[in-house]
Amino acid sequence: MNDQGSDPQYETFDSLMRAVNAVLEQYGKHDSLDPGDYSVYEDYWGFPQVKVSIANLKMLEPVVIRKLQQVIRAYPEWEIVVAVVRRPNYRDWPEMGLYIRRNEIIDGLQRQYFPKEFQNIEYEGAKRGTADD
Amino acid sequence: MIPYKWPVATSVPQNPHVRFEIAKALRTLLEDGDEKLRQRRAEIASIKRGLAELARDLAKLRREASSLILSALCKYGYNSAEPRVPKYSPGGGQWTDNGTQFAASGMDDATSILRSRGGHHFVPRAVYKDLPLKLETKKVFDDARTGPLKGGRHGWDADHDAYNQAAADALKKFLTGNGIEPQDMTPEQALRFVFYIIGSNDPRIHDLNLRLYRREMLRYILHHMRLIDPLEGPLEIEGGSDE
């Protein structure tokens, strides 16, 4: 029996979560006792998703997102949820982020809130969307 | 004498007795209407009072949920301030000044409720996974979870991030405030911290934990409750039977 009782999806979650961590740690520092550039939520919620919170916008560079999409291609039906957070005043920015799926990227970034150098970030083949997409 | 003549032509007899009867009937009708109006107003006022009470109860529940959870957990033998000799041990249930006695023989009793498989870690792994904790201490954090969650998918909210930051801040304070080095943290200290997080009033922690439980309860109700239509009988919700 795995860590999640009898849920067979947990093995897939665990594997994807590790793969996502492996990509992100090449580009930034994960949260620990002290805040880092990003954190991967390591708890499985029963849905085919891995959630990442990005606190440093450099983690949104297209090269990072492209690598994450390469990872998710091996996990049909799963998605990586990227939430962009503004620490410590979370309410300063609205909820925004990306859904990275095998065949698409749903882009819900609200670039008008970003510093100038990040306002022109674009992802190949991405389509604009909302958290409900 | 000229008899009184009613000013409007009417087929209703105009004698005083008839007029008195009409007036009486009108008064009765009006009183009837007034009574119905009064009843309706009373019903509305009663509904309003009920709703206000419900709102107060919900607000109270929201304020007190943490302490309710904690008090429920205490029934399982835990008290962070006053360690007790565990159940089924000699002198079980009695207060003891010796915290290590609790740790040495009572951990199973105190942590049994937190040995859930899956779900949300009360102390996020990101916060402690890099700390040089003892294996048994780390196990306390590993095991302290809600149990499997099925309530909803992730969106772009920042709640998890805020929760992690708050838990990290709290752990730092806990360690420095108690003069504990991570490598020296004992399982019972870890357990005390877990309960601190469960009962935390920090809105970043409290709100997410409460939201998780609320969502799970809603899912459970929707999934298991049979709705009754007064005409059609029971309504089965799709996927309503499970486990």
**pLDDT tens, residue by residue, B132-153:** 999 999 999 998 988 877 767 8
Angstrom distances, CA of residue B8 to CA of B4, B13, B22, B27: 12, 12, 16, 22
Assigned token pair, A80: 């990586």
Cβ-based contacts of A85 with chain B (< 8 Å) = 158, 161-162
- Tell me what pLDDT residue A78 has: 96
Which chain A residues are Cβ-neighbours of B120 within 8 angstroms?
Answer: 43, 45
With contacts defined as CB-CB under 8 Å, which chain B residues touch A51? 154, 160
pLDDT surpassing 90 at residue A95: yes
What distance in Å separates the CA atoms of residue A94 and residue A86, rounded to the nearest whole number?
A: 9
Q: Beta strands of chain B (E only): which ranges?
A: 227-229, 233-235
Contact B154, A49 (CB under 8 A): yes
Beta strands in chain A (DSSP E): 38-41, 49-54, 79-84, 97-101, 105-107, 126-128
Residue A5, φ and ψ in degrees, nearest 5: 75, -125
- Kindly report, residue by residue over B98-139, the tens digit of the pLDDT: 433 333 333 444 444 455 567 889 999 999 999 999 999 999
Q: Does B209 touch chain A (CB under 8 A)?
A: no
Phi (first) and psi of residue B228, to 5 degrees? -110, 120
Residues of chain B contacting A55 with CB distance shorter than 8 Å: 161
B151 touches chain A (CB under 8 A): yes
DSSP strands (E only) in B146-238: 227-229, 233-235
Is B168 in the A-facing interface, judged by CB distances under 8 Å? yes
Task: Give the Cβ contact number of residue B46 at 10 Å.
Answer: 10
End-to-end CA distance of chain B: 96
Min distance B35 CA to chain A CA atoms (Å) = 52
For the four alpha carbons of B80, B104, B97 and B189, in that order, the dihedral sign comes to negative
Backbone angles phi, psi at B121, to 5 degrees: -75, 130
Which residues in chain A are closer than 8 Å to B202, comparing Cβ atoms? none
Ranges of residues in chain B with a pLDDT under 50 are 95-113, 235-243
Q: What is the pLDDT of residue B32?
A: 66
pLDDT at position B177 is: 95
Quick check: B119 and A45 CB within 8 A? yes
Interface touch A55/B161, C-beta < 8 Å:
yes
Q: How many CB pairs lie under 8 A apart between chains A and B?
A: 112
pLDDT tens per residue, range A38-89: 999 999 888 999 999 999 999 999 999 999 999 999 999 999 999 999 999 9
Q: Which two tokens stand for residue B45?
A: 């006022």
Query: Quick count: other Cβ atoms within 10 Å of Cβ A32?
Result: 16
The reported pTM is 0.65
Instruction: Provide the residue ranges of all domains of chain A, joining segments of one domain with +.
Output: 9-128
- With an 8 Å Cβ cutoff, the interface of chain A facing chain B consists of 1, 3-5, 7, 10, 30-35, 39-47, 49, 51, 53, 55, 81-88, 90, 95-97, 108, 131
Beta-carbon contacts of residue B91 (< 8 Å; ≥ 6 apart): B85
